[in-house]
Structure 1
Amino acid sequence: MHKSALISYAHLPRAHHDRHVLTSTVDVFGAAHWLLAERAPQPGDVRPFDALVVSVHPSGDVERTELSAVRARWPHLDRLPDGGFVVAASRARQYEDANQVQVFDALGRETSSFFVGDAIEHLLVDETGHIWVGHFDENPIGIRRWSASGWLAWTSDGAAIPGLFDCYALNVSGTVAWACPYTDFPLVEIRPNRPNRPVRVRANRVRGAHAVAVHGGRVAFYGGYGEERDRLVHAELTQTSVEPTDTGLLTLPDGSAPGRRRLVGRGSRIYVQAEPFTAWGVFDLNS
């Protein structure tokens, strides 16, 4: 089985390695962001705390944004097109409904907060500033698209997506989302701005992928169960299905297995961040 190596993409500056990485992501425009705290979350401590976002842009420029009174201990993070940030608690049980998602302006001040539902698996902002949320199976409510003010702009309810109990993979690029949900693992194309047919579902035999990349008529699935954890499957799209063409492995730039990792899907790209979560690598289906 052949191997494909990630390309080194972005690194957290060494000056910030003494801080605890709460989470990290790559936004829709290609900038990498780290949400940092002075120390790791402590059990039972629900007091708000100040945090630092360190952003590394594709140009290499580094930006720092202080966020005041962050509430989520195990958060999701993404950037809004206006320079602000969204921070959301993956589990909502210990937060009042209105406090699960916090929206901060470009100066790090909270401007709004709202509730999107427990058990967040993925949170990704699109280029218009809408927030896509996919949930895992402890709250199987599917996939939703929210405005930055907390208005529900689109929901998978009634979209006839088979077996949507856990949003294993979610890719958001432009205003389009692609998902691969458990249990049936169809490849779901969501175009909310297309009024006549916003959702297209393609049958898919690739099981258990946790990230997906799409470019033109091609798709790549990353991840799987057990020994297929580092599997990379290439496939072609038909009108109704996904047809695998090649299977290999995806490794870190040095050829080693990623181990514990974070994954972000953006269009033709899958970004991978391995422990200790200070560097992002990228696989690009379009390269």
Structure 2
Amino acid sequence: MKTLQLWPILTLEPGEGKLVAFDIGPDRAVYLLHALKPLDYRREDKGASFAKVRPATPQHYRAQAWLDGAQLLDLSIDNEPYNVHALQPLGEDLLLVCARSTRHGGDSDLNGRVYSRSGRLLREIALGDAIEHVQTTARGEIWTAYFDEGISTDHPLSWPGLVAFDRQGTPVYRYQPQAPLDVIADCYALNLASHNEAWTCYYTDFPLVQLRDHRIVRHWNVPVYGAHAFAVYRSHALFAGGYDARHTYTLLRLDDGPGASVVAMFDLVDEHGEPLQAELVRGRGDTVYLHRDDRVYACDIHQALSAFAN
């Protein structure tokens, strides 16, 4: 197997708490969220485990962000009543998201938590249940992608599998595919390449779908199944992992027709030449970002093309 060596773009000082969110903003800043109290994310009932929307006591979080190695944000958020799984910038504010939501009659949990950068709760919005991915745009749109538990249950916000909201929490786009594309059963991956361009890949057939200005403009049948992150740039895509090879990366050329051709498959190694098997992977624009231990790495399509394209 071919390999590509990466060096960290960010090395973190050891800190307290448990990492609960690793995300990339529209400006390519790296966002991290740590829970500072013991986690209370699950409940047990008759031998089964279920996600908890709210912990027994409010949680304290530490939100941090870096861009090009410089720290942009270091904020304490105290007494947050929701379990949080994602962190994104929302204009000048911050969006914390609980991935789960329950229905109370006709109302939903307000699991989108908008904070000022001084740590003040500004508003609460409903974003649906079973959120797999959250990414915001530079203009303040919130895109949420859902896994099957939300799509197939009684939570209407989640049914389309992919939804865009404005910063006040009003849906402005719901995914509506037309043949030959099928509906989303489980949205595996999301990539907001710009303020008006979104890409997604989803179960069951795993098409790579490009949207521009809330409209599907193109799609490709890609030979990668089960990847949870990818990067895109013009006529190429880079997929991280998949069902059969979790830590293998696949560089694709997006053909003029509905197909895609494999340019290279490779593994990553770190600065010491050791296998780089990331704990968390995210895709934004032309780059895949990886988190492992106290380091963040980035692999962009240009690096992969330089290394492997003939």
Give me the TM-score of the superposition, normalised by structure 2: 0.82
Deviations 1:145-165 (A, max 9, x none): 111210111110345542521
Structure-to-structure mapping, 1:127-166, within 5 angstroms: 127-140=138-151, 141=159, 142-160=161-179, 161-166=181-186
- Which of 237, 241, 247 aligns to 1:223? It is 241
Please say if 1:191 is aligned against 2:180. Answer: no
Distance in 2 between residues matched to 1:103 and 1:255, nearest whole Å: 41
Selected match of 2:192 from 154, 158, 172: 172
What amino acid does structure 1 have at the position aligned with 2:144?
A: V
Range moving further from structure 2, 214-223 or 50-59: 50-59
- For residue 248 of structure 1, report the CA deviation from its aligned partner: 1.5
What's the CA shift for 1:86?
Answer: 0.7
Q: Which runs of 5+ in 2 are unaligned?
A: 44-54, 152-158, 304-310
User: CA, structure 1 residues 94+23, in 2 after alignment: closer, same or farther (shift >3 Å)?
Assistant: farther
Report the AA paired with residue 280 of structure 1. Answer: V
Taking the aligned partners of 2:148 and 2:69, their CA distance within structure 1 comes to 38
The one-letter code matched in structure 2 to 1:85 is: L
Contact 2:36 2:59 in 1 (8 A): no
Q: 1:41 to 1:55 in 2, by over 3 A?
A: same
Q: For the residues of structure 2 that align with 1:99 and 1:256, how far apart are their CA atoms?
A: 43
Per-residue CA deviations over 1:36-59 (Å, capped at 9, x if unaligned) read 232231356333333221222225
> In the superposition, relative to structure 1, how do residues 218 and 33 fare at CA in structure 2: closer, same or farther (>3 Å)?
same
CA contact (8 A) 2:59 2:79 kept: yes
SS at match of 1:286: helix
- The answer to whether residue 265 in structure 2 is matched with residue 247 in structure 1 is yes
* d(CA) in 2 for partners of 1:207, 1:158: 19
Which residue does the alignment assign to 2:51? none
Equivalent position amino acid for 2:149 in 1: E
| 1:232 match | 249
| 1:285 correspondence with 2:301 | yes
Q: Structure 1 pair 252/139, CA: closer, same or farther in 2 (3 Å)?
A: farther
1:224–1:59 distance in 2 versus 1, CA, 3 Å: closer
2:204 counterpart letter in structure 1: T
**Is structure 2 residue 32 aligned with structure 1 residue 41?**
no
CA-based RMSD: 2.3
Given that residues 11 and 56 in structure 1 are in contact (C-alpha distance below 8 angstroms), is that contact kept between their aligned partners in structure 2?
A: no
- Alpha-carbon distance between aligned partners in 1 of 2:278 and 2:82, rounded to the nearest angstrom: 21
Aligned to 2:13: 13
The CA distance in 1 between the partners of 2:231 and 2:272, in whole Å, is 22
Identity of aligned residues (%): 24
Cα gap change, 1:186 to 1:114, in 2 (>3 Å) = same
The one-letter amino acid of 1:125's match is T
User: Match of 1:23?
Assistant: 21
Maintained 8 Å contact 2:91/2:139: yes
Residues 163 and 184 in structure 1, CA contact (< 8 A), matched pair in contact too: no
Aligned length: 278
* Letter of the 2:27 counterpart: F
Structure 1 residue 258: Cα displacement: 4.5
Tell me which structure has the larger Cα radius of gyration.
2
Q: CA deviation at 1:253?
A: 3.9
Q: Structure 1 CA distance, aligned partners of 2:168 and 2:64?
A: 24
1:76 aligns with 2:86: yes
Higher deviation after alignment, 48-57 or 130-139: 48-57
Following superposition, the deviation at residue 250 of structure 1 comes to 2.8
**Please, which runs of 5 or more residues in structure 1 have no aligned partner?**
none
Asked if 1:90 corresponds to 2:99, the answer is: yes
- Asked whether the equivalents of residues 10 and 69 of structure 2 are also in contact (C-alpha less than 8 Å), the reply is no
What is the deviation of 1:62? 4.6
Contact 1:78/1:124 (8 A) holds in 2: yes
Change beyond 3 A, Cα 1:251–1:209: farther
